[in-house]
Amino acid sequence: MTLKNHRSALPFALAAFAVCSQSAIAQAFDWKKHQGTTLTFLANNNPVANALLKQKADFEKQTGMTLKVDAYQEQQMRQRLVTVMNSRSDEIDLFMSLPSREGIQFAKAGWYADLTDYVKAVSSKDYDFGDISPGLVKDASYNGRVMGVPLNIEGPVLYYRKDMFQKCGVALPASLPELEGVAAKLKACDSNVTPFVSRGLKPALPFSYSVFLHNMGGDYMKGGKSQLCSKEGQTSLGLYAKLLKDYGPPGVVNYSFYQISGLYREGKAAMAFESSNELSSVMQGDARLKDTSIAVLPAGPGGSRPTVIGWTMSVSAHSKKKEAAWYFVQWATSKAVQEKLALDGVAPPRAAVANGADYKRWIDEQPVRREWAKAVTELGKTGISEVGYPITANPASREFVGQAVDEVILGQKTVAEACADADKQLDALIAKE
C-alpha cells in the first residue's frame, strides 16, 4: 500500500467494469435490502468522521439500517481496533483506516475485507467508482484488491496569521530553512503569541515532520537502511525540533491536531503546521476567518514534497455483515455524501465533487477557503504518501521517529545522538521485513 513493490497498479479496467456491472444490476439494486440490520462503526473522532456522522440519519432513512457508532480519539480508536481484530471478533463491521500508516500491516494480518467484488457487482447505478482518485484507490489496494474506499484527501498545510505577519514586518519565506528566522522575529515582536506550533506527540509527529525531511532532500530509507542520521535527516530533525523547542508552546511534546487547532483558533499561535482537514475546526467561531492565510510549507533544498494522504472506509474481515457494511461504504463515498462533506471542509477525493459548481461556489465565498483549496490541490499534484518507514511495521517506525525528535526538544539528546539511537532501532525493524 505504501511500499512500491506492494502497490497494485489497480487496473483502470476495474472502474470501467464496475460501470458496466452497475448498469447491468441497476434495476436489481435495492438500498433497503438489508433493512433492520444494525452495523457497528468504529469511528475516529476527527473532522472527516464528524462531518460524515452529521449525515447518519440520512443513511438510516435510505437503507432502513441502524448505524451504531463507537467514537474514540485517534490513539484510543486504534487500540480498540487492534484488540477487536486480534480476537477475531465480529463486534465491529466498519472502521476508518490510514493506508499510509497501517495499510500493509492490516492487509498482511487479514483485517481488511476484500471489497473488489462488491465494487464490481454490488453498487448502485450512480456510484461511479472510477470518479474516485486513482492514486488514493491505489494506496487503499493490496495485491490488486480493494481494501478500503477513500473518504478524503489531506496533508499538512501552514495556517498563519497574516495580521501578525504584517504587524511584525515579516513575510512567509520562499525557503524552508528561513522559517526559523520568521519565527524568531514573531517571538521578538509579540511574546504573548506562540510563533510556531506543529505536532510533538510521538506517534502523531511524523505526519508533519515528514514534509521537513522530504523538503530538505531526505528520505527515511535508502539501501534497506534508516537515513535519519543522513545530512538531510539531521538538518530536518534539528530544524523541526528547534522550531518546537524555541518557538512552540509549553508541553508541545503532547500536542496533536486537537491542541494545535485549539491554540491557533484562540489566537494564541502565529503559525500552525497542521492537517488541511482542520480547516473547519480552525475556523470554528469565525475568529480567525479574516486574519488567516494558508499555504503549503516552503520548499527546501529537496524542493516541495508535501505529504498527501487520505482516510478510507474499510470493512472488517471478521464482520458477519460484509455486504450490508459495503452499503454503508458506498453511501459514505458516494457523490451525494461527498458533496455534503466538501461543504464542511473535507477535501473530496471525487473529481466530480472537486469540479462541481456547489463546491466551487463554497470555496469562492471566503478568501481563506480559496487559499485552502489551492494548497490542497498542490498536495494532490506534488505530494507523496510516505509518512514514516515504508514497511509493515510503519506504526512502530513512527514511534521511533517521534521519540528522536522529542528527545531533542526536551534537551535529553543532541540531534546526532537521537538520530543514531533511532537508526539502530529502525534498522532492526527494517531487518524483520
CATH code for the domain of 321:
3.40.190.10
Indicate whether 5 belongs to any domain: no
Whether residues 112 and 225 fall in one domain: no
- Return the pLDDT at 28: 76
Q: Assess if residue 320 is contained within a domain.
A: yes
Same-domain status, 354 and 210: no
- Taking the chain (433 residues) in consecutive chunks of 10 residues, what is each chunk's mean pLDDT? 39 43 57 98 95 97 98 93 96 96 95 97 94 92 95 97 98 97 98 98 97 98 97 98 98 97 98 96 96 98 96 98 98 97 95 95 96 95 93 96 98 98 98 93
Secondary structure class of 184 (helix, strand, coil): helix
| Element spanning 382, H or E | helix 367-382
pLDDT at position 3: 35
Q: Sign of the C-alpha dihedral, residues 336, 341, 344, 348?
A: negative
Torsion angles phi and psi, residue 248, rounded to 5:
-95, 180
Q: Which of 368, 387, 406 is the last residue in one of the domains?
A: 368
Long-range contacts made by residues 73-80, C-beta under 8 angstroms, separation at least 24? Answer: 73/44, 73/45, 73/258, 74/44, 74/45, 74/46, 74/204, 74/256, 75/203, 77/42, 77/43, 77/44, 77/45, 78/102, 78/395, 80/42
Record the pTM. 0.88
Point out the domain boundary residue: 368, 384, 403: 368
Does 1 map to a domain? no
Please state the domain count of the chain: 2
Could you tell me if 31 and 63 lie in one domain?
A: yes
Report pLDDT for 1: 54
How many C-beta neighbours within 10 Å does residue 250 have? Answer: 7
Give 293's strand partners: 160
pLDDT tens, residue by residue, 86-123: 999 999 999 999 999 999 999 999 999 999 999 999 99
Q: How many helices (H) and strands (E) does the chain have?
A: 20, 12
Alpha helix positions (H), 304-350: 322-332, 335-342
Residue 161 shares a structural domain with residue 136: no
Please tell me whether residues 101 and 39 are part of one structural domain: yes
Which residue's C-alpha cell is 482537514?
277
Instruction: Identify whether residues 317 and 291 lie together within a single domain.
Output: no
Cα 172 off chain centre by: 24
C-alpha cell at 44: 475516529
3 part of a folded domain? no
| Backbone region of residue 94 per phi and psi (left: phi > 0; alpha: psi in -120 to 50; beta: other values) | beta
Q: What separation in angstroms does the CA of 301 have from each of 64, 228, 231, 305, 419?
A: 55, 16, 12, 11, 20
Instruction: Identify whether residues 144 and 189 lie together within a single domain.
Output: no
Residues 279 and 425 in one domain: yes
Residue type, 290: K
Asked whether residue 398 is assigned to any structural domain, the reply reads yes
Please enumerate, as own/partner, the contacts of 209-212 that have beta carbons within 8 Å and a separation of 24 or more: 209/236, 209/237, 209/240, 209/401, 209/402, 209/405, 210/307, 210/386, 210/387, 210/388, 211/155, 211/156, 211/273, 211/297, 211/305, 211/306, 211/307, 212/176, 212/236, 212/237, 212/239, 212/240, 212/297, 212/300
34 closest CA partner among 148, 126, 120, 122: 122
Per the structure, the complete domain to which residue 124 belongs is given by 12-153+309-368
What is the tens place of the pLDDT at every residue in 255-309?
A: 999 999 999 999 999 999 999 999 999 999 999 999 999 999 999 999 999 999 9
CA end-to-end span of the chain, whole Å?
15
The answer to whether residue 7 is domain-embedded is no
Q: Are residues 119 and 180 in the same domain?
A: no
Determine the pLDDT at residue 81: 96
3-state per-residue secondary structure call for 52-76: HHCCHHHHHHHHCCEEEEEEECHHH
Cβ atoms < 10 Å from Cβ of 175: 11
Residue 341 and residue 394 in one domain: no
Distance CA 307, CA 157 (A): 9
Regarding whether 235 and 341 lie in a shared domain, the answer is no
Contact 384, 214 (CB under 8 A): yes
Q: Is residue 2 part of a domain?
A: no
What is the C-alpha to C-alpha distance for residues 174 and 297, in angstroms, rounded to an integer? 9
45 and 126 inside one domain: yes
What is the CB-side half-sphere exposure of residue 401 using CA atoms within 13 A? 30
